Amino acid sequence: MIDIKNITKEYGDFVAVDHLSLKIEKGMCFGLLGPNGAGKTTLIKMLIGLLKPTSGEFLIAGEKMNRNNTKLKNKIGIVPQHINLDKDLSVKENLIFSTKLYKIPRNKTKQLIDDLLAFCELRSFEDRLTKNLSGGMKRKLMIAKALVNDPEVIFLDEPTVGIDLNARRKIWDMLKRMQDLGKTIIITTHYIEEADYLCDKIGLMDQGKIFHCDTSKNLKKQLGTYTIEYFNEHKNTEYKYFTLLEDAKKYAHSLNDNYLLRSLNLEDVFYNFANKKVK
């Protein structure tokens, strides 16, 4: 569905995306995981036609993206990081406005909006002004807007940033349902558990490059099964990884200070390979 070939984006001497190549299969949920400034949003902006690459090329559904490729833009949906709703319109009016932008026939609009309100669990809020919605409800409405044109590919840039845990889980459920409908989903996030739960494959990104790309299970296997956290003599946190529980316990007993023995997670993987902690 998406074929990225040696793409680079430079701003003067700063390289935001550095000779990145990647293939994303149809129907996959692909996650870009990395710290702020890793290049995730810049990559997404190039893929949706908002930024022009300095070099390299990419195809979406076999076509090259550019600002004027309306046909291809009609195949994608976009959920940006920042709220893009009209706060003085109701939930339903925001969706009506989106159908007009996509020139959806009037005789199909009512059923489409009803279906989206139900899918995104917004039906009981359809007449509420957007400015009076909670953060989670606003995020749901943004996803509903992105689905108005029934896109094949959906890009979500930090879709659950700034919302509570309950709302975040609701949005995760929506994204799972979207994938069941055959949508290809590309999501950027710095929430470890979000990538672990949602994504078929995860690209660990830092300094404009994807330095590891695999399933969550395989990424964790590269380090082991268990992690020991402990303080070194300078009171800095150290991490040690083990495949066998017996080996982990043996090492833990050799430590003089307090330690934590736990299951290895994706944060360990990223910290180990990028030497940056993702929060």
Answer whether residue 248 is part of any domain. yes
Residues 6+ away with beta carbon under 8 Å from 247: none
Predicted local confidence at residue 20, as pLDDT: 95
**Helix/strand/coil percentages in the chain, nearest 5:** 35, 30, 35
Residue-wise pLDDT for 8-41, tens only, equals: 999 999 999 999 999 999 999 999 988 888 899 8
Q: Are residues 39 and 68 in the same domain?
A: yes
Residue-wise pLDDT for 210-235, tens only, equals: 988 999 999 999 889 999 999 888 88
Please give the average per-residue pLDDT across 65-78, as a whole number.
Answer: 83
Number of domains in the chain: 3
| Maximum separation of any 2 CA atoms in the chain, in Å | 73
Q: Are residues 161 and 68 in the same domain?
A: yes
Residue-wise pLDDT for 180-207, tens only, equals: 999 999 999 878 889 999 999 999 998 9
Answer whether residue 270 is part of any domain. no
Where are the alpha helices (H) located in the chain, listed in sequence order? Answer: 40-47, 70-73, 91-101, 106-119, 135-146, 165-180, 192-198, 216-221, 245-253, 266-274
For residue 263, give the H/E element and its range: strand 259-263
Q: What is the length of the chain?
A: 279
CA 8, CA 43: separation in Å to the nearest integer?
A: 9
In this structure, are residues 91 and 125 in contact, taking their beta carbons and an 8 Å threshold? Answer: yes
Q: Are residues 44 and 138 in the same domain?
A: no
Q: Which domain holds residue 103?
A: 86-144
Residues 6+ away with beta carbon under 8 Å from 275: none
In this structure, are residues 270 and 32 in contact, taking their beta carbons and an 8 Å threshold? Answer: no
- Whether the pLDDT of residue 278 is over 50: the answer is no
CA 257, CA 233: separation in Å to the nearest integer?
A: 9
Mean pLDDT across the chain, nearest whole number?
Answer: 90
Q: Are residues 127 and 244 in the same domain?
A: no
- Whether the pLDDT of residue 52 is over 50: the answer is yes
Residues 6+ away with beta carbon under 8 Å from 203: 22, 30, 31, 32, 33, 210, 212, 213
Q: Are residues 160 and 65 in the same domain?
A: yes
Please give the average per-residue pLDDT across 67-90, as a whole number.
Answer: 88
Tell me which amino acid residue 81 is: Q
Q: Are residues 200 and 250 in the same domain?
A: no
Q: Are residues 164 and 69 in the same domain?
A: yes
